[in-house]
């Protein structure tokens, strides 16, 4: 057996114990009550990195939550990898649906259950342990590593660009590596080569100064929940297309080759329904499920409120109603343009005299990987060696704002090497990471960094 593999397998229980301690900290970035916890999470990571021979470990404060930055730069003439991850997590509700408490990491059936186990503390920790394994087995790191771990990814990475500009020099690298995505299926190592972007809004409709009796006024005044329902219903047509004027103007049509590549993947409708728990597959006419997820934009209503919510009946005409509406975007759509289209659409769909207010949340641009760059071959080799199976290229319907931003800012390729699984429950109750993927992921990253160490770069 490889010394690296041997070390990683031997130390597995300790690695899991260490990450479990980090997972105890409820670093929920979107909830103000957890501000201190996000700060503690950053400190925990920073302290851990101190013990691993980093030459620099810093906590970078922001107007929101802090990021952790660390470097190991002991390999002159060798490439520099910038590792990105996030130490913040999603809220845990509905709490009652968790089998074990979200912040008490629990081993069950070959899985480690906890909020953040796969998204993203567990996956970031795999890089940390790959670094440790290389230092242990080779006596030194064969490449230079910079690591940035932000605390605001789950709430939109609002301050990350600010950190980029402030620390542009320190963030220079030859390649960026991120583990915050999924493998296509168990045992099948996957490199994500495309992510969708995001444009997210809240819409509030107001029709009167207060609620009204539906007998006294029904039929003679507008009802906010009806107005909002009509606006929302007008966002899609019967073919499952987004029926906002101009929405598809910037969508780059999928090439025959892209579609052929996707058709080669072992997609199984039954497995998809099991993993998602959805009763049926449904989406834009003329496209397969994977095409809908990876190559086509989408629009969802993420939340809806208005009117009487209590038990029983109340004859009332609600005067306000609101909804959270988001769009997943593909190349070459932009969140700014989609915002304008959404505003125009709502303005047209809203009856005269009714107030509709739109507020924009965070957004992200879509990303496409430059797969012609040689690091992609290196990554395939490393993954194949650890998993004993050739790696596949996959897409991802979700978003990581950082990936496109750093790509644009540095011009360097970003390797998305994810070790989650599609039914890993990220953002949901009972989030988990596979113990096997945890070990093989560490191994893959160690091999990748070792192989990168054979490359000479022309910089000091």
Shortest CB 74 distance to Zn ion, Å:
29
Q: Which of Zn ion, ligand BES, none sits in contact with 364, Cβ below 5 to 8 A by type?
A: ligand BES
Shortest CB 422 distance to ligand BES, Å:
8
- The CA-CA-CA angle for residues 358, 295, 29, to 5°, reads 50
- The CA-CA-CA angle for residues 343, 345, 349, to 5°, reads 115
Q: Which stretch binds Zn ion (CB under 5 A): 19-27, 68-76, 117-125, 330-338?
A: 117-125
Residues 170-229 that bind Zn ion (CB under 5 A): 180
Residue 396 binds ligand BES, judged by CB under 6 A = yes
- In sequence order, which ranges of 316-366 are alpha helices (DSSP H)? 335-349
Shortest CB 167 distance to ligand BES, Å:
21
Residue 120 binds Zn ion, judged by CB under 5 A = yes
Q: Which residues contact 258 (CB under 8 A, 6 or more apart)?
A: 295
The residue number with the shortest CB distance to ligand BES is 398
Residue 152 binds Zn ion, judged by CB under 5 A = no
- Position among 37, 88, 119, 174 found at the interface with Zn ion (CB under 5 A): 119
- Position among 206, 399, 425, 430 found at the interface with ligand BES (CB under 6 A): 399
Q: What is the DSSP string of 249-264?
A: TTPPPPPHHHHHHHHH
Q: Which is nearer to ligand BES, 18 or 154 (CB)?
A: 154
Q: Which is nearer to ligand BES, 120 or 451 (CB)?
A: 120
Q: Which stretch binds ligand BES (CB under 6 A): 16-24, 70-78, 176-184, 333-341?
A: 176-184
Q: Which stretch binds ligand BES (CB under 6 A): 131-139, 180-188, 274-282, 370-378?
A: 180-188
Shortest CB 255 distance to ligand BES, Å:
23
Report yes or no: 452 and 375 within 8 Å, Cβ to Cβ: yes
Q: Return d(Cα 251, Cα 333) in angstroms, integer.
A: 6
Q: Return d(Cα 302, Cα 88) in angstroms, integer.
A: 21
Q: Return d(Cα 386, Cα 264) in angstroms, integer.
A: 23
Q: Which is nearer to ligand BES, 53 or 186 (CB)?
A: 186
Q: What is the DSSP string of 184-239?
A: SBTTB-EEEEEE-EEEEEEEEEE-SSS-EETTTSTTTS--HHHHHHHHHHTTB-TT
Residue 400 binds ligand BES, judged by CB under 6 A = yes
Residue 76's alpha-carbon distances to 49, 52, 79, 109, in angstroms, are 21, 19, 8, 44
Residue 291 binds Zn ion, judged by CB under 5 A = no
- In 61-109, DSSP assigns E strands to 67-72, 80-86, 106-108
Q: Which is nearer to ligand BES, 142 or 401 (CB)?
A: 401
Q: Which is nearer to Zn ion, 25 or 317 (CB)?
A: 25
Q: Which is nearer to Zn ion, 177 or 203 (CB)?
A: 177
Residues 108-137 that bind ligand BES (CB under 6 A): 119-120
Shortest CB 220 distance to Zn ion, Å:
50
Q: Which is nearer to Zn ion, 180 or 291 (CB)?
A: 180
Q: Which of Zn ion, ligand BES, none sits in contact with 236, Cβ below 5 to 8 A by type?
A: none
Q: How many CB atoms lie within 10 A of CB 9?
A: 14
Count of residues making up the chain: 460
Q: Which residues pair with 329 in a beta bridge?
A: 197
The candidate with the shortest Cα–Cα distance to 87, out of 62, 122, 54, 53, is 122
Residues 334-363 that bind ligand BES (CB under 6 A): 362
What are the backbone angles phi and psi of residue 36, rounded to the nearest 5°? Answer: -65, -35
Binding site for Zn ion (CB under 5 A): 119-120, 180
Binding site for ligand BES (CB under 6 A): 119-120, 153-154, 156, 180-182, 198, 362, 364, 396, 398-401
């Amino acid at each position: 057996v490889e010394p690296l593999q041997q070390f990683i397998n031997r130390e597995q229980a300790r690695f899991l114990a260490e990450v479990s301690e980090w997972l105890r900290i409820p670093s929920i970035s979107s909830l103000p009550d957890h501000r201190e916890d996000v700060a503690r999470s950053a400190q925990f990571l920073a302290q851990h990195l101190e013990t691993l021979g980093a030459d620099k470990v810093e906590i970078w404060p922001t107007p929101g939550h802090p990021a952790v930055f660390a470097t190991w730069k002991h390999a002159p003439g060798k490439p520099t990898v910038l590792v990105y991850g996030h130490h913040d997590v999603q809220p845990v509700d509905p709490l009652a649906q968790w089998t074990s408490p979200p912040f008490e990491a629990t081993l069950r059936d070959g899985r480690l259950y906890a909020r953040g186990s796969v998204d993203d503390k567990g996956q970031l920790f795999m890089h940390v342990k790959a670094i440790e394994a290389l230092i242990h087995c080779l006596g030194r790191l064969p490449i230079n590593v910079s690591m940035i771990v932000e605390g605001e990814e789950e709430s939109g990475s609002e301050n990350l660009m600010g950190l980029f500009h402030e620390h542009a020099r320190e963030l220079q690298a030859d390649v960026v590596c991120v583990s915050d995505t999924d493998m296509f299926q168990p045992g099948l190592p996957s490199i994500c080569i495309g992510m969708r972007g995001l444009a997210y809004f809240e819409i509030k409709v107001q029709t009167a100064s207060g609620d009204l009796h539906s007998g006294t006024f029904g039929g003679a005044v507008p009802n906010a929940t009806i107005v909002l329902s009509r606006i929302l219903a007008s966002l899609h047509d019967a073919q499952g297309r987004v029926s906002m004027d101009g929405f598809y103007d910037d969508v780059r049509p999928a090439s025959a080759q892209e579609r052929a590549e996707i058709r080669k993947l072992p997609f199984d409708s039954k497995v998809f329904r099991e993993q998602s728990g959805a009763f049926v597959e449904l989406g834009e006419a003329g496209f397969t499920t994977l095409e809908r997820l990876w190559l086509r934009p989408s629009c969802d209503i993420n939340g809806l409120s208005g009117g009487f919510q209590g038990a029983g009946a109340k004859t009332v005409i609600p005067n306000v109603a609101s909804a959270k509406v988001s769009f997943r975007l593909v190349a070459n759509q932009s969140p700014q343009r989609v915002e304008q289209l959404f505003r125009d659409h709502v303005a047209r769909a809203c009856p005269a005299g009714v107030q509709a207010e739109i507020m924009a949340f965070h957004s992200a641009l879509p990303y496409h990987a430059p797969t012609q760059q040689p690091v992609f071959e290196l990554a395939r080799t490393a993954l194949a060696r650890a998993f004993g199976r050739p790696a596949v290229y996959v897409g991802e319907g979700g978003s990581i704002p950082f990936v496109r931003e750093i790509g644009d800012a540095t011009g360097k390729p970003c390797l998305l090497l994810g070790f989650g699984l599609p039914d890993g429950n990220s953002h949901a109750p009972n989030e988990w990471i596979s113990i096997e993927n945890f070990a093989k992921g560490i191994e893959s990253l160690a091999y990748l960094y070792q192989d990168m160490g054979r490359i000479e770069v022309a910089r000091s």
